Amino acid sequence: MVAGETSGDLLAGLLLGGMKSRWPELTAQGIGGPKMAAQGFEAWWPHDKLAVHGFNMEVLRRFREIWTIRRRLGDRLLAERPDLFIGVDAPDFNLGLEARLKAEGVKTVHFVSPSIWAWRGGRIHKIHRSVDHMLCLFPFEPQIYHDAGIAASYVGHPLADTIPLEVPRAAARQKLGLADGVPLLAVLPGSRRGEISHIAPVFLQTVASLARQRPDLRFVLPVVPGLRELVEPLVRAHAPDAPLTLLDGQSHEALAACDVTLIASGTATLEAALFKRPMVIAYQLSPMSWQIMKRMGYLPWVGLPNILARDFVVPERLQHDANPTQLAADVLAWLDDPARCASVQQRFLDMHHLLRRDTARAASDAIAQVLEAR
């Protein structure tokens, strides 16, 4: 297995749990993180080796390192001939590796469809060469693959299985030491160094502005393990006097406890929707990356909750629109409109039911078919 970044490690860990329930003697190795390790996964390289942000000099600087890891991993896998390779997200890394393995007779499954319905649709041809079976998180995706002659299954989203339908708000607030009536904003600026460097200063400037406008408002910011030394100086620079608490991880507790979240575009926005939280989605890239993304996109939405709803149910502020004045106004608009909050929470509950499909079992069923066809 290969999972890149924090979100991939989370999804892969959930998948591994289901697979080990079906195949107790299963062993898994490759590239992964702590959620996978908790399921007995042996990481030959840590998952954060694959974490890059946008199309920029960071990618160019790390290209040789990442290319070398993929070559060495492919050599090792072809020598050991696993029963199955599962690439979890990270398509720019995994599809090339999967193509090499498939050409040599190793069965390949890809978990999490690349967003070919949003941008870079031409990748469907590479996917055809690379993947024996695609495991899709969203119900509209399998037909795209069937039309291209690629086996695919809708397995739902594992987060929809693990996050409860009824939000444990009181328990989360108690764990965070917050009284029930205290208004709370959860600030989630991402899990990668590159994106935190781009978006966290703007988020923290927004926090400082909101703290001046609403002295009763409190803030929590979950920090991915290992990144506190990056976040703390940003807090001192941009929001030194705000009532902001840095949490060690605990993003789910923060989402369950908060009234609104200010959140970077990505998998975390779907987590926020499953916690039925009103949100403001924001994102910033380097100017070059932004121009590339604009030209390659197909949809008017970037946030997963809006894509699934096919509507702007929550605001998206991108690039120059992601500024402290606009973001603070968007947060206050949610806090001051309980009826609007209740409406979006109902839409997110419907979304939760749609995505709750016992993903680990459904994915294991599809994987079993691939193994039987070897």
Q: Given a cut of 60, is residue 357 above it in pLDDT?
A: yes
What's the rounded mean pLDDT across residues 296-307? 77
Is 352 within 8 Å of 162 (Cβ atoms)? no
pLDDT by residue (tens digit) across 243-301? 999 999 999 999 999 999 999 988 899 999 999 999 999 987 666 665 555 655 556 77
User: Which residue type sits at 14?
Assistant: L
pLDDT of the residue at 285: 67
Determine the Cα–Cα distance for residues 333 and 325; give it in Å rounded to an integer: 12
pLDDT at 60: 61
With contact defined as beta carbons under 8 Å apart, do 114 and 94 qualify? no
Averaged over 125-139, what is the pLDDT?
96
Over the stretch 177-187, which tens digit does the pLDDT of each residue have?
A: 998 889 999 99
Q: Report d(CA 197, CA 180) in Å as an integer.
A: 33
Say if residues 354 and 93 touch (Cβ distance below 8 Å): no
Q: Is the pLDDT of residue 57 over 70?
A: no
Residue 116's pLDDT band, with cuts at 50, 70 and 90, is confident
Provide the pLDDT for residue 197: 86
Per mean pLDDT, which range of 3-7, 57-61, 116-120, 327-331 is the poorest? 57-61
Q: Which residue has the tokens 């290992």?
A: 226
Checking if the pLDDT of 58 tops 90, the result is no
Question: What CA–CA distance (Å, rounded) separates 255 from 275?
Answer: 6
Per-residue confidence (pLDDT) for residue 193, from 0 to 100: 84
**Owner of token pair 């690349």:** 114
Residue with tokens 């209740």: 342
Burial label, 122 (beta-carbon count in 10 A; 0-12, 13-18, 19+)? exposed
Q: Looking at the predicted structure, is the pLDDT value of residue 1 above 90?
A: yes
**Residue percentage of the chain with pLDDT more than 70:** 93
List all residues 6 or more positions away from 364 whose beta carbon is below 8 Å from its beta carbon. 18, 19, 21, 22
* Domains of the chain with bracketed CATH: 2-156+357-372 (3.40.50.2000), 169-355 (3.40.50.2000)
Position 198 confidence tier, pLDDT thresholds 50, 70, 90: confident
| 288-297: Cβ within 8 A, 24+ apart | 288/54, 288/55, 288/56, 289/54, 289/55, 289/56, 290/319, 292/55, 293/54, 293/55, 293/119, 296/119, 296/120, 297/118, 297/119
What is the pLDDT, as a whole number, of residue 208?
Answer: 98
Q: Which helix (H) or strand (E) holds 88?
A: strand 85-88
Beta pairing partners, 45: 31
The pLDDT score that the predictor gives to residue 158 is 86
Decide: 280 and 314 in contact? Cβ < 8 Å. Answer: yes
pLDDT of residue 51 exceeding 80, the answer is no
This prediction's pTM: 0.81
What is the crossing angle of helices 324-335 and 193-213, to 10°?
Answer: 60
pLDDT at 333 over 50: yes
Residue 53 pLDDT > 60, yes or no? no
Q: pLDDT value at position 93?
A: 93
Compute CA distances 320 → 279, 283, 287, 354, whole Å.
19, 9, 10, 34
CA geometry: angle 213, 218, 219, nearest 5 deg: 105
**Which residue bears the tokens 């402290």?**
324
DSSP for 303-322, written as a single string: SHHHHHHTS-SS-EEEGGG-
CB 305 within 8 A of CB 314: yes
Is the distance from CB of 265 to CB of 199 less than 8 angstroms?
no
Q: What angle do CA 92, 290, 329 make, to 5 degrees?
A: 120
For 154, the token pair is: 């809708």
Contacts 24+ apart (CB under 8 A), 74-83: 74/100, 74/101, 76/44, 77/30, 77/101, 77/106, 78/104, 78/106, 81/106, 82/29, 82/106, 83/107, 83/371, 83/374
Provide the token pair at 9.
């490690």
